[in-house]
Amino acid sequence: MTRTTQTGHHHPRLMRHAGSFNPVRIHSMHYQSGRHIRLELEPGRTLYDALVEPLRAIGVTSASTTILGGYFDHLEYCVAPPDPSGNAVIAYSRPIEAGSAFMVFGNATLGKDMQSQPLVHCHATLRTEAGEAKGGHILPQASVIGAVPLTVLVTALEGFELRQAFDEETNIPLLKPYKES
């Protein structure tokens, strides 16, 4: 639902989360320079494998990536409506099939999950097989690169790493930067 307003005062609403408030509101880390990589996502592989494996082969396990446009043989995504259970403010929906889709633009973060396995968190805009413009949280293990490689600009993060950890405030696991273990 949207609302278009010409002018006037607006007071954005906040959300009360399930867990305890963390007084640190911004978790940031920096390194003196970035390492840039041009990556081509290999046709026929899942988005997850096509991102993770070539980067792991050159020692990159934490990165911020920009996915330029390209075709997927199959793409699935989900959206984030309110969580009816109340465990968290939102919960991801069931997978939505976009079919043979075109990814217009996407950003993906590469880090490690709570089992220290590679984690890809990807949001993107897409055109579905039905021709609709949609967007959401891409399911990287269920989305398969099409016949033409997709180009990705990778900024490898060095000097620190991204790890998923349970976040007490939101009551879900989230990626945050940590000193390298």
Partner 1 sequence: MTSQTSTTKAFGQVVTTETGRMGRVAYARIAPNEDLVQGIEKICLAEGFQNAFVRGGLGSLVDACLGTLDGGYQEIKGPAVEVVSMAGEVRSIEGDTPNASLAGIVADTDGNVYGGPFLAGWNPVCMTFEVTLEEWLPDSPEAT
Measured from the CB atom, the residue of 43 and 171 that comes closer to partner 1 is 171
Instruction: Find out whether 66 and 156 touch, Cβ atoms under 8 Å.
Output: no
- Contact set for partner 1, span 19-48 (CB under 8 A): 22, 24-34
Instruction: Find out whether 103 and 75 touch, Cβ atoms under 8 Å.
Output: yes
Cα gap 74→83, rounded to integer Å: 27
Rg (CA), the chain: 18
Measured from the CB atom, the residue of 149 and 173 that comes closer to partner 1 is 173
- Determine the Cα angle at 17 with ends 12 and 23, to 5°: 85
Cα gap 29→161, rounded to integer Å: 9
- Contact set for partner 1, span 65-124 (CB under 8 A): 65-66, 77, 79-82, 88-90, 96, 104-109, 121-124
Q: How far is the CB of 180 from partner 1 (least distance, A)?
A: 13
> Which residues contribute to the site for partner 1 (CB under 8 A)?
1-7, 10, 12-15, 17, 22, 24-34, 64-66, 77, 79-82, 88-90, 96, 104-109, 121-125, 133-137, 155, 157, 160, 162, 167, 169-170, 172, 174-177
